[in-house]
Amino acid sequence: MNAPEPLKPIAFVDLKSQYAALRETINARIQRVLDHGQYIMGPEVKEMEDELAVYTGAKYCISVASGTEALLIALMALDLQPGEEVITTPFTFAATAEMIVLLGGVPVLVDIEPDTCNIEAKLIEAKITARTKAIMPVSLYGQCADMDEINAIAARHGSIPVIEDAAQSFGATYKGRKSCNLSTIGCTSFFPSKPLGCYGDGGAIFTNDAALALACREIRVHGQSARYTHTRVGVGGRMDTLQCAVVLAKLDRFEWEIAQRLALGDRYRALLADMPGVDLLAMRDGRDCVWAQYTVFIDDRATVQAALKVQGIPTAVHYPRPIHHQPAYAHCASPGTCPMSVAAGATVLSLPMSADLTEAQQVRVVAALREALQPR
Q: Where are the domains of the chain?
A: 16-252, 254-372
Class of domain 16-252: alpha beta
Q: What is the pLDDT of residue 310?
A: 95
Dist CA 61 CA 308 (whole Å): 41
pLDDT by 10-residue block (mean), the chain, 376 residues = 65 98 98 98 98 98 98 98 98 98 98 98 98 98 98 98 98 98 98 98 98 98 97 98 98 98 98 96 98 97 97 97 97 95 98 98 97 88
Q: Calculate the CA 166 to chain-centre distance.
A: 5
Q: Are 160 and 132 in contact, with CB atoms under 8 Å apart?
A: yes
Angle between helices 15-36 and 43-56 (to 10 degrees): 130
- CATH topology identical between 16-252 and 254-372: no
Q: What is the pLDDT of residue 50?
A: 98
233: Cα within 13 Å, side-chain hemisphere: 8
Among 254, 187, 240, CA closest to 44: 240
Q: What is the pLDDT of residue 7?
A: 73
Q: What's the topology of domain 254-372?
A: Aspartate Aminotransferase, domain 1 (3.90.1150)
Q: What is the pLDDT of residue 375?
A: 82
pTM equals 0.96
Q: What is the pLDDT of residue 5?
A: 53
> In 50-190, at which residue ranges do the beta strands (DSSP E only) sit?
60-64, 85-88, 106-109, 132-136, 163-165, 173-174, 177-178, 185-189
